[in-house]
A and B are shown apart, each in its own frame.
Chain A
């Protein structure tokens, strides 16, 4: 079997070797660097996006928190104001109710008094009438004679007035 000399120069071999290196360069570029670079770039983009999202979310949360804290502080004041307003309206309402009730009670009392006075006057008149009749009958019996009612009417009236006055 033939072998080359240890030091031998061959133009074609040199060219082949040069082409080999170029070919390996292209192979590495296309099959190793390109896909890996692509994937790494994609990953970088994804990571960047995630970071941006997270920052956005944190900013949103912070804003929400501030808004809610403000609202909460406002809510206390609002509640107090509402309570006060309710209290005032309730008191007003109550006052009005009490005043109404008092007015109505006064009316009722006045009416009752009037009625009572009227009843009393009526009763007095009825009593007077009865007493007149009774005394007339009594006097007829006692005198056993006819008394002209007209003649004695005056006398009886004065008598009755006396009784009524005494009775009052």
Chain B
């Protein structure tokens, strides 16, 4: 550890600052832009400015900015964890990085099988992005996951992955799968297919948003209760909401930390389940074998022709 060069340390510090600075910047931005308000308000994300775009104007909101900040943080953390990585692990951070990688790979392997081994970084991406986004509420920032658009984007990406892997067995097989077990259930199947991304998005977004709302409501209620019970105290003591001290923190433990991590985990698990569950392994292998056989026949025919010529 003592042999670390000054340059190494400088890069380390730079990376750590890079991981923390975006979040601090977000907080500053929020403080600068938040209007002084009295009482409680339950609103969506703050709109910093709006870019005129076709179809629909694009408002750059807290949700966007915060998720970019989270991405920067993740990037810097990745670089920090793998900085100075060596075959013989000398640093704790390398052990941490290896632990994370191993855990993700094991989880993906256990849930999805060998064919989907390449999904490990994707699942890790969902977990880190969703988890850290939800945990932003601990810093008093707007968690991007409580904006439906953010989670809907992820759900649509997952849905396209599900459909892509269902298509692997051939488009006809894919279309046929809607007419099972009986053809007249096709509308139901289509609805349930479309419901997958919608339910994923709403589950995640609703859980985080409802957590925030309940936190705000309880904080407000505790303020009112405090006024009612301790209002007789003289001067400023009567106005100070004593009951708001401590109690919301316990609730925050559940709504911000537990719920945030749990929703990230659920989203990742559902992704793994849907993608690997929708993938028709046997049909895919049959199709692959058929294709290869056809290719071989073609090749044989070609060589035969060439010999004739």
Contacts and interface: CB of A to CB of B under 8 A. Distances in A.
Interface string B274-308: 00000000000000000000000000000000000
Interface residues on chain A, size class = 35 or more
Nearest to B35: A1
B242 to A, nearest CB: 30
A10 B149 contact: yes
Interface in B73-102: 74-75, 78-79, 81-82, 85-88, 94, 97-98, 100-101
A15 B150 CA distance: 9
Contact of B82 (A11, A20, A25, A35): A35
A28 interface: yes
A32 interface: yes
Contacts of A1: 33-35, 46-47
Interface residues of B, number: 56
Given A14-B153, A15-B153, A37-B101, A46 B87 contact: yes
A80 interface: no
Find the residue from A19, A24, A33, A37 having the highest chain B CB count within 10 A.
Answer: A24
A43 B44 CA distance: 50
Interface string A10-37: 1111111111111111011101110111
A4 B148 CA distance: 11
B156 A24 contact: no
B153 A13 contact: yes
A5 interface: yes
B42 interface: yes
B269 to A, nearest CB: 16
Interface in B152-192: 152-154, 156-157
B27 interface: no
Contact of B149 (A2, A8, A31, A46): A8
B126 interface: yes
Contacts of A158: none
Contacts of B97: 32, 36
Nearest to A4: B44
Contacts of B151: 17
Interface stretch (B3-11, B50-58, B223-231, B247-255): B50-58
A37 B55 CA distance: 44
Contacts of A15: 153
A32 B148 contact: no
B121 A16 contact: no
A43 B98 CA distance: 12
Contacts of B2: none
A159 B87 CA distance: 133
A50 to B, nearest CB: 12
Contacts of A16: 58, 64, 153
Given A22-B157, A32-B101, A14 B78 contact: no
14 contacts: A1-B35, A6-B43, A8-B44, A10-B58, A13-B64, A20-B153, A21-B129, A21-B154, A24-B128, A32-B82, A35-B82, A36-B101, A39-B85, A39-B94
